[in-house]
Structure 1
Amino acid sequence: MEDPCFIDEARLIDVREPEEVAQASLPGFQVLPLRQFGSWGPEITDKFDCQKDTYVLGDDASFVADCALFQGFQKVFNVAGGIHAYALKADPSVPTY
């Protein structure tokens, strides 16, 4: 996910809370805390390109992914295993908690 071309071509959304993001984060992910979903969720199609591949990170990423698909997003993916799995499988320098 660190490839600059990938970051330009995909939408990366981190739905974890700010305290969690402060402990460990990934470059390129825009933080949209799930706790604030009521303010950003209904307008997600106005903020993001529905045609881009969208990757969602966080414990409740599947909920956000389903909402995005319902609102017209074409390709939405849950980052399986979250930041912990990413740290174990892709980049051990990312802290886990």
Structure 2
Amino acid sequence: MNRYSYLVPPIGRDQCLLQDIQPEELHAKMQDPSFIEEAQLIDVREPDEVERAFLPGFKVLPLRQFGTWGPVMTDEFNPQKDTYVLCHHGMRSMQVAKWLQSQGFQKIYNVAGGIHAYSVKADSSIPTY
């Protein structure tokens, strides 16, 4: 134990889980209709990007409009439910995932590589751009 150990809280059951989910794993989950109904799916890309390629069930909350939707996230989404965040390559979604973590969301999954990786690795019917 070093002199800074007290700064790191012990990991407990109610600690937040923030991790990447691989496109293939998300694709497998999305084959189950109950997954789309039960999980919270958030796409933080811009509307013109979503027009080019989208995944069913994802609510579009463009990162550029964060000032509008950020303050009401805990009103519209349940911090206790599994939350999946998607963007083009996985960078914007990771920003939002970390922010959700700071807001008390418990289980957050960032789609690794974004919708581009999803198209390349899991479902080639989704266009790349």
The TM-score, its normalising length taken from structure 1, stands at 0.95
Change (3 A) 1:79 1:42: same
Q: Give 1:37-48 correspondences, 5 Å limit.
A: 37-48=66-77
Write the distance in 2 (CA, Å) between the matches of 1:6 and 1:90: 17
Q: TM-score, normalised by structure 2?
A: 0.72
Q: Which amino acid aligns with 1:16?
A: R
Structure number with greater Rg is 2
Identity score, percent = 67
2:115 is matched by which residue type in structure 1?
I
Paired amino acid for 1:23: R
Range with greater deviation from structure 2 (18-27 or 50-59)? 50-59
**Pair 1:6-2:35 in alignment:** yes
| Partner Cα separation in structure 1 for residue 55 and residue 107 of structure 2 | 20
Unmatched runs of 5 consecutive residues or more in structure 1 = none
User: Larger relative contact order (C-alpha < 8 A, sep ≥ 6)?
Assistant: 2
Shift of 1:3: 2.1
Determine whether 1:64 maps to 2:96. Answer: yes
Q: Is the 8 A contact 1:2 1:27 kept in 2?
A: no
CA RMSD of aligned residues (A): 0.9
* Deviations, residues 19-40 of structure 1 (Å, cap 9, x unaligned): 1000000001000000100111
Stretches (4+) displaced over 4 A:
none
